[in-house]
Chain A
Amino acid sequence: MKMDKSITLNRRSLLLSAGGAIAITSSPILAMADEADLERARRDLFGDLPIREGRVTVKLPPIAENGYSVPLSVTVDSPMSADDYVQRVAIFSPRNPLPNIAQFHFTPRAGKAFVSTRIRMSGTQSIQAVAEMSDGSLWSGSMQTLVTLAACVVL
């Protein structure tokens, strides 16, 4: 008897969560950001200065089985000396609900322009990092990751 009950409960909760998934996909809250949002977010943080490609290396696994937690690391090619260092690095997504992921601030005392963390990704996309050097110049790098289980449902 007891067994039966738990099975029914399981099925019910399963059905409920399926209903939830449908509600999620049809809800306007979850409108995804797109390239235009990414550009706007980038302009909010860095203004209209030109951003050159290079010097920034973004590392992500080529395939992420679970978008809920994807290891990300960013390395910037910089001597990190007192007069030539990375001031900040911002991470952007073209497909998450919000284009901003994180922003990191460095000082010459970091010794190494490297940071790593774990991020959420709602689907296959190319994550972009923009670095601002101490001389004000902007550099960017990006990496594409295939996400098999998107965090847009789990996020």
Chain B
Amino acid sequence: MASIRLAVPETANQGDVIEIKALIQHEMESGFRRGSRGEAIPRDIITTFECTYNGKQIFSAEFYPAIAANPILTFHTIATENGTLVFTWRDQNGQIWSDEAAIEVT
């Protein structure tokens, strides 16, 4: 349902600081909006994000309603070894979306 787009370099030299971008398609309904008839639209947001590198957490985030729709994050990590980066988003109701990217370190 929710589409995820990741930008992770496929290869890197060991010790390089690499840039990572992660975007997930989500309304991030703030809970402060009203519909055309004045009725309150209930809040529906992603609250946490986590990125792990071979199982170890390298970066995480907590979102509030002030994060724009389709939240995008740019951050960095040090390329240490061959492996997999796993990206996980969790919404306020506990629903989880996840995707991963492989990286080759030389």
Q: Which residues of A contact B (CB under 8 A)?
A: 13, 16-17, 19-20, 23-24, 27, 29-30, 68-70, 73, 93, 96-98, 100-107, 109-112, 114-121, 152, 154-155
Contact = CB atoms under 8 A, between A and B. Distances in A.
B67 A120 contact: yes
B38 A23 contact: yes
Given A96-B66, A115-B73, 20 more contacts: A20-B35, A29-B32, A29-B40, A70-B68, A73-B74, A97-B65, A98-B65, A102-B63, A104-B59, A105-B59, A111-B76, A112-B17, A114-B75, A115-B61, A116-B75, A117-B71, A120-B65, A120-B67, A155-B32, A155-B65
Interface string B25-65: 00000101111111010000000000001001111111111
A146 B38 CA distance: 28
17 contacts: A13-B36, A19-B38, A70-B68, A97-B32, A98-B66, A104-B59, A104-B60, A105-B61, A106-B59, A109-B56, A114-B75, A115-B74, A118-B68, A120-B67, A121-B66, A155-B33, A155-B65
A107 B66 contact: no
A19 B34 CA distance: 11
Size range of the chain B interface in the assembly: 35 or more
Contacts of A154: 33
B39 to A, nearest CB: 10
Majority secondary structure, B binding face: strand
Contacts of B72: 117-118
Nearest to A117: B73
Contacts of B38: 19-20, 23
Given A115-B75, A116-B74, A118-B67, A110 B58 contact: yes
Given A23-B34, A29-B32, A109 B68 contact: no
Nearest to B74: A116
A23 B57 CA distance: 45
A105 B78 CA distance: 16
Interface string B70-100: 0111111110100000000000000000000
A110 B59 contact: yes
Contact of B66 (A13, A16, A111, A119): A119
Nearest to B69: A69
B58 A102 contact: no
Contacts of A103: 61-62
A102 B66 CA distance: 8
Given A16-B36, A109-B53, A109-B77, A120 B60 contact: no
